[in-house]
Amino acid sequence: MGVLDIGSNTVHLLLVDAHYGAAPIPASKLKIPLRLAEHLTPEGNVDNAAVETLVDFIHKAQELAEDLGVTELMAFATSAIRDAGNGVNVLNRLVEETGLQVEVLSGEDEARMTFLAVRRWFGWSAGRLLVLDIGGGSLELASGVDEEPDVAVSLPLGAGRMTRAYLHSDPPSPEDLRELRKYVRASIASVAGKVRRGGEPRIAVASSKTFRQLARIAGAASSSEGPFVERTLTLEAVQQLVKVLSVMPVHERSQLPGVSEGRAEQLLAGAIVAEGAMELLGIDELAICPWALREGVILHRMDSLPS
């Protein structure tokens, strides 16, 4: 089984040996840092160059999938396509030129699928989970005791979106930082009561590249040590990182452990969103989960396979 994830920052192909009850362990991967959200016209449409690059990548993904014997290739898109003015036209063009049907997930669906992946990773013994995921375009929050969360919320607070909207200099001005912090906290505060209404989580969990990078800078094990190493991120560490990153130019951020050059620009905004979410939701420490949205989509599909 293959899953193509058309995200705001990166387009990922993940291939797994899928059967009922299996873990979505990747057999092969392919990705490009397309940054769809940065390829928008003044009218809010995805530009033609980005669509052409996406079509070319899908052709390569289809070839790889065929070579490896994939029998089912699913594709989904998140906020970059969901919010684009010409999103429907882009999807129609992808069908015409590649034959691939792409499902656009709602923000709530993103939160639900990510929650499923986190639940399967930590298991039933984890009790009530609170899950946070910062993407390029949105922040997803979900909480619950089952595999389906009691509450699933999506806010337009992605690291890339906030960087483009508020951080206009390098390093950013104190005024821009104050405006970003004010907007982030007002947005999270508007849903914090809803998210916490079900009760205190036994474990608060973070998924996504942004949280993994912040944890790595704060001293967590590198990805080369494998997915089964326990990794955490404390509120104290995030607060300190916000202070440090606020005065650090992008080229210096890219030298930090675990931070790619392409993600360095968004790191500060991601840290500010993480800090706001942790403080307003009363989280002192996050466990870092290696599974997120892609794995959730695969698990959801595998649950429907015959046993």
Alpha-carbon dihedral sign for residues 247, 249, 255, 256: positive
Average pLDDT over residues 160-185: 97
Residue-wise pLDDT for 224-256, tens only, equals 999 999 999 999 999 999 999 999 999 999 999
Closest to 93 in 3D by CA, of 85, 101, 105 = 101
Residue-wise pLDDT for 52-70, tens only, equals 999 999 999 999 999 999 9
Kindly give, in sequence order, each residue whose CB lies less than 8 Å from that of residue 88, ignoring residues fewer than 6 positions away.
Answer: none
**2-104 CATH:** 3.30.420.40
- Cα separation, 302 vs 307, in Å, equals 10
Which helix or strand (DSSP H or E) is residue 67 part of?
helix 48-67
Give the start-to-end residue ranges of the domains of the chain.
2-104, 107-293
Beta strands in 7-121 (DSSP E): 11-16, 26-32, 73-77, 103-104
Q: Which of 30-44, 100-114, 148-162 has the lowest mean pLDDT?
A: 30-44
pLDDT score recorded for residue 307:
64
Indicate if the pLDDT at residue 301 is higher than 70: yes
pLDDT score recorded for residue 273:
98
Which option is the CATH number for 107-293: 3.30.420.150, 3.30.70.20, 3.30.2130.10, 2.40.50.140?
Answer: 3.30.420.150
Indicate if the pLDDT at residue 21 is higher than 80: no
User: Do the domains 2-104 and 107-293 sit in the same CATH topology, yes or no?
Assistant: yes
